[in-house]
A and B are shown apart, each in its own frame.
Chain A
């Protein structure tokens, strides 16, 4: 029964015409993975304007660290096969807010966008065999198991590399594939802590807080992952040789910390939490408006403070004898901040923004998600994309970054578990319907 449903789903998908993904699958299935030499320049209108058309990616990771790299590749035209355990699938399906689709939370729907789901049980020898076959017909493999896990299943690099010498493999883990902590469980929350970011979030001397969102490190490590994959694909196309990209979430987080390492190395400076402010500039922080909302103001230079003083209608504050130079503002930090706190607190948010913008002071709303949905700029830039999934309207963040000639796109939200299993087994791995039924019965797929 399940098999029939899936056949229908696969057929239905072709009919409803995501011509982009399914036609790519069919044609490249015949030719094997993307050719090692660059494709000839297409005549206008004969190919999709997507830089990764023809590239096949297997995403066997869970949650976001790594899978988000696959998501980006999919937005720009790669065919992404999400390989999942046949029973439970990616635990991301249960992470976050539940929907009426039993196998999909909102987080899953948004971040598994453009992917196709293929179930394979890697804990079975037959599953491992199928997986290797799939890898031999793919360009990129993304995984984020604890280091050593894939090796235990017989899916280490030597095996995969032999099956596909051009394979590009992204391995994301909490700490990386090497080093003393490599076997420890890795989570974004822990990686923010290890990487030095959490220590800096919060007020001086008080409890460090989550630096904004819990999975930030997952996203950041995936961005590095996508960069690594693009570089490795380039190398592969020149030489035919694949390689491994090895990223620890904690080191990806640490790479964001501007001169923190250099300053400690040279002067022993330990950066501390700076609350809502900045050590190097005043006023630079978050201020509450009369109507109980918040704005961010960032006067990084003297010129910007001068403009703020004009917005306050107190230009004398920017005089050399008062708070004109940054050094004087830093020395009188509390006094300067108090002036800004009082001024901002005496006006509604809209008024503060207007007066600051009139004088070109760097200012912005401290948006809640409700504010963002009201924000005309988000609308104008298409940052909120409205999609549909099985009768549900779902609003998700649009594609970033924006490319002028080959913009990315969202074709579908997170797929139902196993929606492309039949299609991939039949067309890509060329199994018979009978074989597929047997594999299903053995819970291999």
Chain B
């Protein structure tokens, strides 16, 4: 279908201030930036966002996490602990649509830039407030991190071998990303409301509750039947075979037979269709009762073949299986290449080519994009103060000297 001109991204014209740190609230701003918002990363003049020191160092004295996740942002330094800084910040908020922050509850209020202060400055403001525990409730003042959130939210309890030490559910920053996603949903809802009514609002998102929200029927099953779900290692309680199985070449595959039909396909892949007969293991109930036998059959089969061979046979039989990819596997995976899930970006001032995950989700008409990697500290301070607030050269020099910016 012919198109008149490249479409404008859906958030063009929206200005976002990201005064948050590390990943949770900043990831919300990252997504908004990928889809066209102008994102001003407001940082402390000395040191900046702690994310600049989180992860693997680069030649530029920040980290790969920073380069990837501060993509598309402009860095503006303002010291919010100084009255002149607060004044500048308020002026900037007055000209902004969305503010993302993740200080402990009460911190911005103490500096005179809490919700009640800022809504006076900008009644149309949308403010995302991310914390470990939320803006209210008894734990509101406790320090919150993703690891703690995984624990409090009930996710860590479920990860690990039965009765063994609970493990990290894959990634220590998972709750940060998930909260960033919920934050972005909240901001987009609030923008829609504001565009319809002119009314701003704040969004209160807590790391622990975003994790808890993603635990399917854990809560209703406890409330109704007192069921306390435990750790099941690589398996789950309600289906078999379902888990991770080692292959002959020392790699792993994931197999998930959640229905009888899928198990029948797996037995075809194994060349043993008789296993799926109703007198043997055709029914989920029987398989669950004979879990260790069924798992052993699958384990023996996987262990007799290389990973590629297991996957080839499963794919031919349409059985649900996949490789347990490490990052090296992912870089070699055809699907990731075909979908352009990895993009190389020349980071000139770092002197390297950096490979980062591409934008998700993929929109057909108004795709998001990565324009720049994480900025240098204060790279855009002057530009933004001049263009947005009309601050003069002399004032900028004076603010710099006083280390307000």
Contacts and interface: CB of A to CB of B under 8 A. Distances in A.
A208 interface: yes
B356 A262 contact: yes
A256 B192 contact: no
A111 B214 CA distance: 10
Given A201-B168, A362-B145, A254 B341 contact: yes
Contacts of A196: 325-327, 329-330
A402 interface: yes
B326 A199 contact: yes
Contacts of A357: 142
B23 to A, nearest CB: 7
Nearest to B198: A41
B335 A260 contact: no
A274 B10 contact: no
Contacts of A260: 327
Residues of B contacting A: mostly:
mixed
A262 B354 contact: yes
Interface string A395-437: 1110011111110000000000000000000000000000000
Contact of A178 (B177, B228, B338): B338
Nearest to A380: B137
Contacts of A230: 185, 188-189, 192
Contacts of A250: 322, 335
Given A211-B170, A266-B64, A286-B166, A107 B205 contact: no
B170 A192 contact: yes
Residues of A contacting B: mostly:
mixed
Given A190-B320, A262-B354, A270-B327, A201 B68 contact: no
Interface in B167-220: 167-174, 177-178, 181-186, 188-193, 195-206, 208-210, 212-220
A186 B331 CA distance: 20
Interface in B39-71: 54-56, 63-65, 67-69
A54 to B, nearest CB: 10
Contacts of B233: 207, 209-210
Contacts of A373: 219, 222-223
Given A245-B364, A401-B203, A403-B201, A261 B217 contact: no
Given A184-B315, A198-B244, A286-B165, A401 B183 contact: yes
A32 interface: no
A294 interface: yes
A248 B362 CA distance: 9
B64 A256 contact: no
B330 A52 contact: no
**Most interface-central of A243, A257, A400 (chain B CB within 10 A):** A400
B64 A212 contact: no
B384 interface: no
Contact of A369 (B166, B222, B326, B356): B222
Given A284-B147, A381-B209, A402-B203, A264 B253 contact: no
7 contacts: A179-B334, A189-B242, A210-B235, A259-B64, A259-B65, A276-B165, A402-B203
**3 A-B pairs with the lowest CB-CB distances in the bound complex, closest first:** A265-B355, A179-B338, A243-B365
